[in-house]
């Protein structure tokens, strides 16, 4: 897969060059090029402290780069099972939140606010375009390398609706414990630049609201998957409890704040 992407000669991003796959019984290990780029978290911190325009420009360029990645045509990619229409997306948000309320992982108050928000939110068809998704687009899986971006950890690559990567990227920044001293909405201007880059400046207010609904969907999914993990060490259980708390906080802020 990494080779196939490199052969396409993308203009705005690269992936690490693969060298060799080492197989040992049921386990395999991929040796690849070590890429020495800038991590995204230093760029976010710079923005949070100085409100620097440079950070916004970088996010805008990353939006453009993700657009190029999404338009790749690659062989034999699996198909996602993510919701494909506004009504399916809303229905899934409602189902997941009701389920989590029954499990007492979110309270009734938050459930009702999610339902109210979802009912009135405008969701644009534009976010459902089928693309090549990274599939796990946490900001930690992206480096900045001079004027290009490096994408890591592509083992979940698949075809599916574009909102999945857009929402996952936004959510991963808001939930990061590295920025827990800051309001989760403080990243909105940066994410606005990112979406502007992705949609080539044709990014109306409805898209921002749509991605917010998608973020809630991705956050609820994450909470659900963390709840189902069994037989895990205590330390991982504690980390997951912290993650769930943070995800719940992000959802709470999203359904509260004005666009």
Question: Which residues of this protein are in contact with ligand ATP, per CB under 6 A?
Answer: 16, 32-35, 140-141, 152-153
Kindly tell me which of 153 and 252 has the beta carbon lying closer to Mg ion.
Answer: 153
Closest approach, Cβ 37 to ligand ATP, in A, equals 7
Decide if residue 153 touches Mg ion (CB under 5 A): yes
Closest approach, Cβ 155 to Mg ion, in A, equals 8
- Number of residues lying near Mg ion (CB under 5 A): 1
Kindly tell me which of 5 and 127 has the beta carbon lying closer to Mg ion.
Answer: 5
Tell me how far apart the alpha carbons of residues 213 and 45 are, in angstroms, rounded to a whole number. Answer: 26
Place of tokens 């040796």: 31
Kindly tell me which of 38 and 249 has the beta carbon lying closer to ligand ATP.
Answer: 38
**Cβ neighbours of 3 (radius 10 Å):** 9
**Cβ neighbours of 99 (radius 10 Å):** 15
Give the tokens for residue 249. Answer: 């906080």
Closest approach, Cβ 152 to Mg ion, in A, equals 7
Closest approach, Cβ 153 to Mg ion, in A, equals 4
Kindly tell me which of 32 and 77 has the beta carbon lying closer to ligand ATP.
Answer: 32
Kindly tell me which of 30 and 259 has the beta carbon lying closer to ligand ATP.
Answer: 30
Q: Measured at CB, which residue is nearest to ligand ATP?
A: 153
Closest approach, Cβ 140 to Mg ion, in A, equals 7
Q: Which does 259 bind (CB under 5 to 8 A by kind): Mg ion, ligand ATP, none?
A: none
**Cβ neighbours of 137 (radius 10 Å):** 24
Closest approach, Cβ 173 to ligand ATP, in A, equals 14
Task: Output the DSSP codes for 106-121.
Answer: S-HHHHHHHHHHHHH-
Which residues does residue 24 pair with via DSSP β-bridges, in sequence order? 27
Tell me how far apart the alpha carbons of residues 221 and 96 are, in angstroms, rounded to a whole number. Answer: 7
Q: Which does 32 bind (CB under 5 to 8 A by kind): Mg ion, ligand ATP, none?
A: ligand ATP
Find the helix packing angle between 205-227 and 234-256, rounded to 10°.
150
With beta carbons less than 8 A apart as the criterion, state whether 17 and 33 touch. Answer: yes
Which residues does residue 31 pair with via DSSP β-bridges, in sequence order? 20
Which residues does residue 100 pair with via DSSP β-bridges, in sequence order? none
Kindly tell me which of 22 and 95 has the beta carbon lying closer to ligand ATP.
Answer: 22
With beta carbons less than 8 A apart as the criterion, state whether 42 and 36 touch. Answer: no
Find the helix packing angle between 205-227 and 108-120, rounded to 10°.
150
Q: Which among 16-24, 26-34, 148-156, 246-254 is the span making contact with Mg ion, rule CB under 5 A?
A: 148-156
Q: Which does 16 bind (CB under 5 to 8 A by kind): Mg ion, ligand ATP, none?
A: ligand ATP
Binding site for Mg ion (CB under 5 A): 153
């Amino acid at each position: 897969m990494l080779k196939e992407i490199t052969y396409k000669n993308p203009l705005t991003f690269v992936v690490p060059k693969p060298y060799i796959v080492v197989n040992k019984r049921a386990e395999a290990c991929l040796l690849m090029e070590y890429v020495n780029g800038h991590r995204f978290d230093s760029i976010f911190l710079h923005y949070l402290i100085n409100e620097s325009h440079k950070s916004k420009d970088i996010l805008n360029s990353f939006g453009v780069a993700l657009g190029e990645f999404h338009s790749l045509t690659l062989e034999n990619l699996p198909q996602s099972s993510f919701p494909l229409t506004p009504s399916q997306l809303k229905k899934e948000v409602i189902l997941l939140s009701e389920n989590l309320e029954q499990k007492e992982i979110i309270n009734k108050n938050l459930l009702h606010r999610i339902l109210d928000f979802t009912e009135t939110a405008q969701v644009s068809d534009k976010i459902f375009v089928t693309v090549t998704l990274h599939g796990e687009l946490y900001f930690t899986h992206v480096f900045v390398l001079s004027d290009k971006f490096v994408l890591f950890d592509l083992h979940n690559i698949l075809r599916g609706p574009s909102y999945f990567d857009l929402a996952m990227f936004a959510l991963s920044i808001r939930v990061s414990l590295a920025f827990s001293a800051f309001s989760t909405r403080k990243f909105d201007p940066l994410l606005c630049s990112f979406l502007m880059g992705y949609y080539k400046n044709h990014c109306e207010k409805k898209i921002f609201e749509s991605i917010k609904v998608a973020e809630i969907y991705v956050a609820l999914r994450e909470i659900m998957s963390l709840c189902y993990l069994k037989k895990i060490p205590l330390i991982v259980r504690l980390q997951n409890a912290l993650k769930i708390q943070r995800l719940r906080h992000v959802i709470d802020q999203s359904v509260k704040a004005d666009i």
